[in-house]
Structures are given as C-alpha cells and as structure tokens.
C-alpha cells in the first residue's frame, strides 16, 4: 500500500507543507517514486518514522539533531544536552516571570546604596587571559590559583583576601572576554606565562553591592555613574568587580553578591 502526500498528511496529523519541509531537509523523503508519472508516495512503515520525528520536535530537538538520531547515532548525549538546555531555559523563564511580577507591582528597581571607601595600596598577583563566556569565570579563577602555586609556591595571599576582575575590551562582550583577575598577595613573585604581578597605590572608590544575576550588573553601574555625576567625580582607574558570592558557593543566581568599585577623583 502506498499513500499520496495528502493522504499521508491526514494519517500523520501534519500539514502537507510540513511533509514537504521534511522532504527538503532529508529526514523523511517519500519512500516510492512512480517510474512512469514520477508521482511520489509514502509507505506505511514511514508513519512510524514520522511519529518519531514529531516526538523529537515536541521535545525541542533541531532538524540537524533529528538527522543525526535517524542516522543511528546514540541518542543519549543529544537528549541529555537538550534537557540541560531546557532546564536553563526554564530557569531563565522563571527569572523573567519574577521580574514581570515586580514590574507589575512597581517594585522592579533595586535600591543601591553608594559607599565611598578608601582602599589601601597593595601588591597583586594576576592572571591575564580570555574566557568564552561569563559562566567560565569560576574556572578561570581556579586556574589562576593553580598556576600561581606552581610558578610561585612561596607567594601567599593577604589575610583580607582582596580580589577583583577588570575587563580589557573597549565594549561589552558576551563571548571571548578579555580580563584580568587580581588577588592581593604579601609580596611580588616572578612573572610566568599568564601570571604577573602589579603594585597598586591607595585609591578612593565609590562602591555598590549588587545581589542577583550578573545580567543585572548594568543597573549597579548606572547607579554609581549617576552618583558620580551628581557629586562631580570621575573614574580614574578601570572599574573593579569583586565577586563575593557566586556559583562556587550559592545554588541560585538570585543569591549572587557582587561589589562594584569605581576608583574616583574630582572631575
């Protein structure tokens, strides 16, 4: 038994347009072509393949992923990867819902308190490099610690454990981010590879704490910039981001705590 495309679309509960799309993409081509009139027909067993494709599509798999699975590849890596992406999308959707609720209630702006601090001079060990995206920050910092131990085993961190990140890119980037991670140490060591040392003088800094995901840090920056404008101040060194709580010790992005420090001087 063979079915024309319209008949097959009724059996499979999909549109003719969808079947033609699957044909073009090579995941479900008609199983029989009449040699006389070139009419194309689907075969009964192809209905099972169509059901499999539709199930994969409902699960959010791409056409390319479905092609791979239909070719006989192990499905588990693709399915587990898609589940992880869906979990991330779920978390993002929940954050959007929470933000929308706050906006509806008129309570969506975080109240930032600007604190002016005097930060004493110090010596810092640093790692300079690039990360693919901000989720790689923790690994970059852990890598710094291991590199520093190997190249300078006698260099010790200061008791106050002051550390921060600065960014070298001239604009905001979501990927391929150039940065330096600084850690205050008791004495300078020997530069080696990505590890270097730098001495900082004392600075006065306008500081603000931001609690929540990193994609909201722009509001903290805006709060400091407003304060600086109102108080006749200007930035004299690159801003410092101090990650106080993050993925290494908190289970939710809502619990992350970051302090932004702007070294300032009179404009």
CATH of the domain at 234: 3.20.80.10
Assess whether 90 and 162 both reside in one domain.
Answer: no
Sort strands 195-200 and 163-167 into parallel, antiparallel or unpaired: unpaired
In this structure, the answer to whether residues 195 and 252 fall within a common structural domain is yes
Burial class, 42, CB count within 10 angstroms (exposed 0-12 / middle 13-18 / buried 19+): buried
The residue among 73, 95, 129 that closes a domain is: 73
Average pLDDT on 146-164 reads 92
What integer pLDDT is reported at residue 107 of this predicted model? 61
Number of domains present in the structure of the chain: 3
Return the pLDDT at 108.
55
Verify that 97 and 142 share a domain, yes or no.
no
Judgement on whether residues 131 and 262 belong to the same structural domain of the protein: yes
| 104 and 207, same domain (yes or no) | no
> Is the predicted pLDDT of residue 163 greater than 70, yes or no?
yes
Residue 194 · residue 215 · CB < 8 Å: no
For the stretch 1-53, pLDDT in tens is 888 889 999 888 899 999 999 999 999 999 988 878 778 889 999 999 999 99
Let me know whether 63 and 194 are in one domain: no
CA dist., res. 117 & res. 205, Å (int): 5
* 135 shares its domain with 234: yes
Assess whether 206 and 241 both reside in one domain: yes
Judged against a pLDDT cut of 90, whether residue 182 lies above it is answered with: yes
Comparing 68-82, 198-212, 219-233, 244-258, which segment has the lowest mean pLDDT?
244-258
Q: What is the pLDDT of residue 52?
A: 92
159/58 same-domain check: no
Structural domain harbouring 190: 115-266
Instruction: Compute the radius of gyration of the chain from its Cα atoms.
Output: 28
Nearest alpha carbon to residue 88 among 253, 265, 258? 253
Average pLDDT of the chain is: 89
- Does the structure show a pLDDT above 80 at 215? no
The answer, yes or no, to whether residue 188 has pLDDT greater than 60, is yes
Q: Are residues 180 and 262 in the same domain?
A: yes
**pLDDT one-digit tens code per residue, 102-154:** 777 776 566 788 999 999 999 999 999 999 988 788 889 889 999 999 999 99
């Amino acid at each position: 038994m063979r079915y024309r495309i319209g008949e097959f679309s009724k059996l499979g509960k999909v549109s003719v347009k969808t079947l033609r799309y699957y044909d073009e993409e090579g995941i479900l081509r008609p199983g029989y072509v009449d040699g006389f009139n070139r009419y194309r027909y689907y075969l009964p067993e192809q209905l099972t393949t169509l059901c499999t494709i539709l199930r994969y599509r409902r699960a959010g798999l791409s056409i390319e992923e479905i092609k791979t699975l239909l070719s006989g590849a192990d499905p588990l890596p693709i399915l587990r990867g898609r589940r992880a992406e869906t979990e991330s999308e779920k978390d993002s959707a929940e954050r959007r819902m929470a933000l929308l609720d706050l906006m509806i209630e008129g309570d969506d702006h975080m109240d930032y308190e600007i604190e002016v601090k005097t930060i004493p001079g110090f010596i810092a060990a640093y790692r300079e490099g690039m990360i693919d995206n901000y989720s790689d920050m923790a690994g970059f910092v852990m890598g710094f610690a291991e590199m520093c131990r190997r190249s300078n085993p006698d260099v010790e961190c200061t008791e106050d454990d002051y550390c921060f990140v600065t960014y070298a890119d001239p604009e905001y980037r979501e990927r391929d981010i150039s940065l330096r991670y600084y850690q205050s140490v008791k004495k300078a060591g020997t530069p080696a590879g990505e590890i270097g040392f730098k001495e900082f003088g004392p600075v006065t800094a306008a500081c603000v704490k931001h609690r929540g995901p990193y994609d909201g840090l722009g509001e903290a920056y805006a709060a400091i910039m407003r304060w600086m404008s109102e108080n006749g101040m200007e930035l004299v060194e690159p801003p410092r981001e101090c990650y106080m709580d993050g993925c290494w010790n908190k289970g939710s992005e809502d619990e992350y705590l970051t302090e932004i420090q702007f070294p300032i001087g009179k404009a």
